[in-house]
Chain A
């Protein structure tokens, strides 16, 4: 704009240069993603050839015998992330709505700041907190679970503290700041005229808020998916509390395992070629699942936009967990 007295002249080449420059950076993203995919495929060939599609549905993970199946890890990753989302979503939306609609002005900044601060805590710290505070608390909860509940498949098994429930809870805490912060920005972006129109028509505060949330629902879905992506890829905190036992179990009390966790746990000591390839293939599976989930969320957004166009659109997409 007003950067130089010869501005008009420079604009002659500055515009194309800027276009090419930003274009190149955008292409770089595609190159990186394709590069990751290529390396993952290339380095998992041994395992892909040996196990084929059965890798996705077998449950044995035996490094000694060289027999590998990813199902327990796929299950654990999806189950823990979905559970975390179920816990995190209402809390995060509550925070976002309170901050953007109801919060007294003097409290708004401090609260928003604290929410964002939660996102900056390293996951190892969450993990240690998980081992020493959360897991014992979960264990106490498990011990006091009524027997009638304990007989259902969701709460069976001995009270260990570590396990699916602890992992889902710690993931929820880690996801909340991301979802809450983005959802708050979305709600802030809803035009004031929308709310004023609602009030003008005699809407109550509750109704006006519902309208604002409805208006921004696509962006809010994006915020939720951002949290989901974070949960899928989280490694350190999860591995410290999930119990790391590869099994497909419905029970919230059972120790389970995730894809990211098994890579972090076993990669350093895996010296055998097939074993290494199987671990890389887990990375490939995680990559593909992230792509599928990302695609599904795009589809969902597309459906919404098609039904009622021109809304506040999601500013963020699910980052690749792999």
Chain B
């Protein structure tokens, strides 16, 4: 059931993104999401209806990756708090940041932290509030080979730089002693759409490979030296599935829900780990001690032998001093619920919950939001 819901969600999100993109392309990007009216709530999840809006409705927009858990949270929370109606449009992180900056929405959401420049262009200080965690996994399709492959960060970087071209390359054999791979060409697949998934992946590759950092860099869309772009997780998974000899990267949730086999990645401590919800939370816990006050932290290539290296937070964005204090108060109360009781819904939907240490830090941060 979940898978079906997610799939429909994906397709709809795609269509929605397309319409939004085309419409906003023609109207300057300052308009509220054109998907406002058409925005689908996932069937059966009973997200708060957007009928007419009204003064009480809190509107948000942003990342598509956390959309399923956010809509679950909003609907569950609304059951207990009939007066709180939160409406969320999954238009993409970039769109969320733009609309929050333009103050057309009350809160935003993003998969990659806002840059200093973006923060500066906002009318007031913005808080990053981690909500859940996600991870990115390498998927592959090698002729006449079934089994688990191991990758190191630099190896993945070299494959995505086009330097490792064959599956029987010595660099791959080095990480996989005893595994016999064919002399097939490696067909590289990546995301073509701007995406938090890409951000996490290239953030990791840039940390472990100076050459990757210099040639490609970190952003939601990058200039890939090689490969084929697939639109969305399903696009990349589709290319990998259909193309013998290919490698790609997808969200952990997507791989889990679609039963796609994925490889293990070597972390900073030298352990090969296959991503799991536990190893992603472990990556967050390992870096909690060094969490900066504004929560803008990258936890790729984290310390700790249980930490999966291609992990990341996804953030909800709020103004530190909201213009509408009443809504601000409701939103803070909601966030306190989400990062405590709400985290219980995370695993069912395929997200890694926040480690307790981060929840504590965030409770303090929520106290600083000026709602009086």
Query: A residues within 8 Å of B by Cβ?
Result: 36, 39-40, 42-43, 60-65, 122, 124, 128, 131-132, 135-136, 139, 158, 160-163, 235-236, 239-240, 243-245, 255, 257, 261, 263-272, 276, 279-280, 283, 322
Q: In the assembled complex, how far is the CB of residue A270 from the closest CB belonging to chain B, in whole angstroms?
A: 5
Is B221 positioned at the interface, with any CB of A under 8 Å from its CB? yes
Contact A124/B242 with A263-B22, A268-B194, A269-B94 known, Cβ cut-off 8 Å: no
Given the complex, which residues of A lie within 8 Å of B20, measured CB to CB?
267-268
**Is A269 a contact of B229 with CB atoms below 8 Å?**
no
What are the 4 tightest A-B residue pairs by CB atom distance, in nearest-first order? Answer: A269-B194, A268-B92, A244-B229, A244-B192
A131 contacts across to B, CB distance below 8 A: 234-235, 238-239, 242
Tell whether, in the assembled complex, residue B26 and residue A322 are in contact, meaning their CB atoms are under 8 Å apart. yes
Cα distance A264–B92 in the bound complex, in angstroms: 12
A271 and B98 contact, CB distance less than 8 A: yes
Report how far A161 CA is from B243 CA in the complex, Å.
Answer: 7
Return the CB mask of B215-226 against A: 1 if under 8 Å, else 0: 011111111100
> Does B123 touch A at the CB level, under 8 Å?
no
Is the pair B242, A268 in contact by a Cβ cutoff of 8 Å? no
A269 in contact with B118 (CB, 8 Å): no
- Assess whether B194 is in contact with A265, with CB atoms less than 8 Å apart: yes
Q: For residue A243, give the distance in angstroms from its CB to the closest CB of chain B.
A: 4
B177-196 interface code vs A (CB 8 A; 1 in, 0 out) = 00000000101000011111
Chain B residues within 8 Å of A266, by CB: 193-194, 221
Cβ of A121 to closest chain B Cβ, rounded Å: 14
Q: Does B161 contact A (CB under 8 A)?
A: no
B residues whose Cβ falls under 8 Å from a Cβ of A: 11, 14-15, 17-18, 20-22, 24-29, 91-95, 97-98, 114, 117-118, 185, 187, 192-196, 216-224, 227-231, 234-235, 238-239, 242-243
8 A-B residue contacts at CB 8 Å?
A64-B216, A161-B243, A240-B235, A261-B192, A263-B21, A266-B193, A267-B24, A280-B29
In the complex, chain B residues whose CB is within 8 Å of the CB of A36: 26
Min CB distance B286 to A, Å, is: 28
**Pairwise interchain contact A265-B231, C-beta atoms closer than 8 A:** yes
| Contact across chains for B25 and A271 when beta carbons are under 8 A apart | no
Closest B residue to A262 using CB positions? B192
Q: How long is the Cα–Cα vector from A163 to B219 in the complex, in angstroms? A: 25
| A279-B25 Cα distance, complex, nearest whole Å | 8
What separation, in Å, do the CA atoms of A269 and B220 have in the docked complex?
7
Q: Do B221 and A63 have beta carbons less than 8 Å apart?
A: yes
**Which residues of B lie under 8 Å from residue A263 when comparing CB positions?**
21-22, 25
Find the residue from A60, A64, A267, A270 having the highest chain B CB count within 10 A: A267
Contacts of B118 in A (CB 8 A): 271-272
Contact A243 B223 (CB under 8 A): no
**Distance A56 CA – B51 CA, assembled complex (angstroms):** 45
Q: Is the CB of A39 within 8 A of B229?
A: no
Measured in the bound complex, the distance between the Cα atoms of B52 and A6 in whole Å is: 44
Q: Are B21 and A245 closer than 8 Å at their CB atoms?
A: no
A40, B242: Cα distance in complex, Å: 38
Contact A162 to B222, CB < 8 A, known contacts A263-B21, A268-B194, A270-B94: no
Residue of B nearest to A62 (CB): B223
Q: Give Cα A40 to B98, complex, Å.
A: 18
Quick one: which of A42, A63, A132 contacts B222, CB cutoff 8 A?
Answer: A63
Whether the Cβ atoms of B94 and A64 lie closer than 8 Å is no
Q: Across the interface, name the chain B residue whose C-beta is closest to A60.
A: B223
A-chain residues with CB within 8 Å of residue B227 when the two chains form the complex: 245, 255
Judging by beta carbons under 8 Å apart, are B93 and A65 in contact?
A: no
Q: Which residues of A contact B235 (CB under 8 A)?
A: 131, 240
Chain A residue at minimal CB-CB distance from B15: A124
Closest beta carbon of chain A to B116's beta carbon, Å: 12
- Neighbouring A residues of B18 by C-beta, 8 Å: 235-236, 264
Q: How distant is B362 from chain A, measured CB to nearest CB, in Å?
A: 24
Given A131-B235, A139-B242, A158-B187, A268 and B95 contact (CB-CB distance below 8 Å): yes
Q: Known: A63-B222, A160-B187, A244-B228. Is A268-B193 also a contact (CB below 8 A)?
A: yes
**B residues less than 8 Å from A239 (CB atoms):** 192, 231
Q: Among the interface residues A64, A271, A279, which one has the most CB atoms of the partner chain B within 10 A?
A: A271
Most A CB contacts (10 A, CB to CB) among B98, B187, B230, B231 go to: B231
- In the complex, which residues of chain B have a beta carbon less than 8 angstroms from the beta carbon of A236? 14-15, 18
Report chain A residues within 8 Å CB of B28.
39, 42-43, 280
- In chain A, what residue has the closest Cβ to B194? A269
Q: A245-B224, A245-B229, A263-B22 are known; give 12 further A-B pairs, CB within 8 A.
A: A131-B235, A161-B242, A236-B15, A243-B228, A244-B229, A245-B228, A263-B21, A265-B194, A267-B24, A269-B220, A270-B220, A270-B221
CB distance from B79 to the nearest CB of A (A): 31
User: Which residues does chain A contribute within 8 Å of B24, judged by CB atoms?
Assistant: 267
B238 neighbours in A (Cβ, 8 Å): 131-132, 135
Q: Which residues of B contact A61 (CB under 8 A)?
A: 223
